[in-house]
Amino acid sequence: MSLFKNTQVSRWIAITASFIIVSLILWNTYSFFQKFKEEERMKMEILGKAYERFGEADLNANIDLENFIIESNNTIPMIITNEEGEISNWSKLNVSDNKTYNSLSTQERMFLNKQLQIMKNQNSPIDVSYNVDDTNVQQFIYYKNSDLLDKLKYYPLALILILLLFSSVIYLFFKSSKVAEQNRLWTGMAKETAHQIGTPLSSLLGWIELLRMENIDENIVPEIEKDVHRLNVIADRFSKIGSIPVLNKHDVVKETQEAFKYLKSRSSKQIEFSFESSQKSLITEINLQLYGWVIENLVKNAIDSMQGKGKLNVSIDESQKNINILISDTGKGIPKALRQKIFTPGYTTKKRGWGLGLSLSKRIVEEYHKGKIFVQKSEIGKGTTFCVSLKKLS
């Protein structure tokens, strides 16, 4: 218990630490993005001042610095418009800078107008005002984020995806380790149970022979012998858990009926049992002991669900590829949310029980026999139908 508690605490510490690290990285990336955006804004404002100085300069003025600033913008796409919003200049937009706007093709003009709208949505314009021959000229510089800034936006998303990938790998690793550990525990427990049952079984067989020699009532010994044989079957079943069972051709109808009859003779007389099959014989490959265990588990669950009173029906039919064994009861039913959970090891709604019957049945059917087991239908207060589907022999 202490180890489990420590594991849980360590897991929550790791999750919290991961969350803090991711939050810090995202916050740092956001801060860097905003700072970089502010620097680009400052660069464009300097560019705007250079345009103002360039526009006001006379023929003898030295405008080398302004010209250098204008030409040095090789990363930020921009469009310059006049007061009426008409495009007069542009840069870094894969459209020839040597042409006038009116000389561009219709497609190029549509492209520039679309880019202008994007720029208006991204950033507020830089106002450029200067005088030429006592005439005030006003222009607006629109710009959008540089390629580097756009790529930076996707960095947190890429980081989160990488973290999710690593988290998924770690989760799957721990889950597979846990499943493997559970399988080892189950296998060890099953084999130890088979071993422990074996000793008193040998002794009981000896006592049966002694009873025969003492001329005890002839009806008593065969019944005891049946139950001893039953214990032997149970021990054999447990010994097969964790090993690859041998599958042989058997009549499913006959073997289902055998398991059904055994439980019927030892159950409450207030339960109305019925058995039906679409065919007298249906052959497929099964392991007798393990298949019988599945049917008994499902029938016992049905009996428990009805609390010893109701109707229980086992029916067998076939489809083109499968043999379907249906176990129906008139019990309390299973809520929709629990129909998958009931096959989880350790899950039970009973006051007494380990919650292993259905999970063992699922393992036997799906892992050993390559079939399917599921809740076909269930209504609260009306009953449940389980289906075991096995592949027909071709």
pLDDT at 68 (0 to 100): 83
Residue 150's pLDDT band, with cuts at 50, 70 and 90, is confident
pLDDT at 330 over 80: yes
Q: Which of 51-65, 97-111, 182-196, 260-274 has the lowest mean pLDDT?
A: 182-196
What is the tens place of the pLDDT at every residue in 88-142? Answer: 888 888 788 778 888 888 898 899 999 999 999 989 999 988 887 778 888 999 9
Q: Which residue has better confidence, 98 or 336?
A: 336
Q: Which two tokens stand for residue 90?
A: 């542009």
pLDDT at 182 over 50: yes
Return the axis-axis angle of helices 220-240 and 288-305, rounded to nearest 10°.
Answer: 110
Question: Are 139 and 126 within 8 A, CB to CB?
Answer: no
Which span out of 23-32, 198-207, 369-378 was modeled with the highest average pLDDT? 369-378
Euclidean distance between CA atoms 189 and 180, whole angstroms: 14
- Please return the burial class of 213, using the count of CB atoms within 10 Å of its CB with bins 0-12, 13-18 and 19+: exposed
Residue 2's pLDDT band, with cuts at 50, 70 and 90, is very low
> H-helix or E-strand containing 24?
helix 2-56
Q: 245-391: which CATH topology?
A: Heat Shock Protein 90 (3.30.565)
Q: Which of 158-167, 290-299, 317-326 has the lowest mean pLDDT?
A: 158-167
pLDDT at 250 (0 to 100): 93
Residue 297, number of CB atoms within 10 A of its CB: 22
Sign of the alpha-carbon dihedral angle for 75, 80, 86, 88: negative
> Phi first, then psi: what are they for 285, rounded to 5°?
-95, 120
Euclidean distance between CA atoms 206 and 214, whole angstroms: 13
pLDDT at 3 (0 to 100): 45
| CA-derived radius of gyration, the chain | 40
Euclidean distance between CA atoms 28 and 152, whole angstroms: 12
pLDDT at 4 (0 to 100): 45
What is the tens place of the pLDDT at every residue in 342-363? Answer: 887 666 666 655 567 788 889 8
Sign of the alpha-carbon dihedral angle for 96, 102, 107, 109: positive
Per the prediction, the chain carries an average pLDDT of 81
Q: Which residue has better confidence, 84 or 384?
A: 384
Q: Buried (b) or exposed (e) across 25-56, using 16+ Cβ within 10 A?
A: eeeeeeeebeeebeebeebbeebbebbbbbbe
pLDDT at 379 (0 to 100): 92
Indicate the domain borders of the chain: 2-153, 178-243, 245-391
Euclidean distance between CA atoms 385 and 101, whole angstroms: 76
The predicted model gives 299-311 an average pLDDT of 89
